[in-house]
Amino acid sequence: MIYIQSWEGFSLEETLKPSFIRPLFRRRGLKYVKIAGKGKGAKLWQNGANVYCEDCDTLDLRHWSGLWLGKEKIVERAGSLFYAHRDLGLAISPSDRHLIFIAVFLSRTTSWETNVLKWTERIFEKDDIEELLRLDFTKFGTSFQLRQLNRVFRQYVENVYPLEDPWEARKALLRLDHVGPKTADAYLLFTGIDPSATPIDRHALRMARRLGIAGSPPRKELCTKHSCGECPAYNTCLRAKLGNEYGTIAGWVQTVFYHHSTTYCSRQKCRECPFVGHCRENWHR
């Protein structure tokens, strides 16, 4: 058994909730058991300020807990966000890329809790690439995501899986059928290939607008041709703006945006929001 120390207010539970590595774990009492991929069977849990792991190494523990991204780096670039959401790290799993791709691809326009976690629990009984390539994903349901995955997973393995360079991987992802910038960036972020990748969803757009960082979603036709710095939409694209503002913690910021939007951005919760004095769409002004 090994452990690492977290920071004051950190929560392993809250860190895993919005992470695409969550389908790799199942909660058993107070512990999270890894059900697929590297370190299958490892147990992860928090006790006070420490996060513990059985049957894993220190690097895996740092990645899975989200504590690989140090507090100092976050505070330096996004202090106000950190002190409002100090419970969040950024949980990633670089050794489980193919499994994270499946979870990200299946998450498009469907319920995370109701569908994706249910599908992946059954799919990840097979976690070897060759076994997954032989699998008919439609045996797990009739949704279009599962139907499309039969073809797209093979495209992914043949064209993306080995790639390490963030921009090469992003362009290769965007050449896959049914993969847009949000899906590509979620893959890059939660595999650890690019911690500055920011999956721009409605929560990111809403939060950025309310905090005065308005921008538009990235456009696939431009993303397939240009890196962010060379793109003609650089000055208006929210992904580029967040990357420029927050650098290597931009992916953590997007995770905070998602968490904050789903926690506070309703009329009933608005008064409790830690950013109520800064929000440009404050309902209680």
Residues 186, 116 share a domain: yes
Return the pLDDT at 229.
Answer: 87
- What is the rounded distance in angstroms from the CA atom of residue 69 to the CA atom of residue 62? 8
Return the pLDDT at 265.
Answer: 83
Where a domain ends, among 21, 36, 70? 70
CATH of the domain at 60: 3.30.310
> In terms of pLDDT, which residue wins out, 24 or 275?
24
Return the pLDDT at 272.
Answer: 83
pLDDT exceeds 70 at position 149: yes
Mean predicted lDDT score pLDDT of the chain: 95
Residues 234, 171 share a domain: no
Give the mean pLDDT of 142-153.
97
Give the mean pLDDT of 33-38.
98
pLDDT tens digits along 191-228: 999 999 999 999 999 999 999 998 999 999 999 999 88
Where a domain ends, among 70, 102, 118? 70
Residues 126, 159 share a domain: yes
**Which has the closest alpha carbon to 100: 184, 220, 223, 217?**
184
Residues 105, 49 share a domain: no
**Which has the closest alpha carbon to 1: 48, 49, 55?**
55
Q: What are phi and psi of 33, to 5 degrees?
A: -105, 130
Range of the domain at 152: 94-190
Whole-number CA gyration radius for the chain: 19
Give the mean pLDDT of 32-55.
98
pLDDT tens digits along 260-282: 998 888 778 888 888 887 777 77
Residues 211, 154 share a domain: no
Where a domain ends, among 190, 217, 236? 190
Domain count, the chain: 3
pLDDT exceeds 60 at position 285: no
CATH of the domain at 148: 1.10.340.30
In a domain, 64, yes or no: yes
Return the pLDDT at 283.
Answer: 60
The answer to whether 100 and 21 are in contact (CB under 8 A) is: yes
Return the pLDDT at 284.
Answer: 57
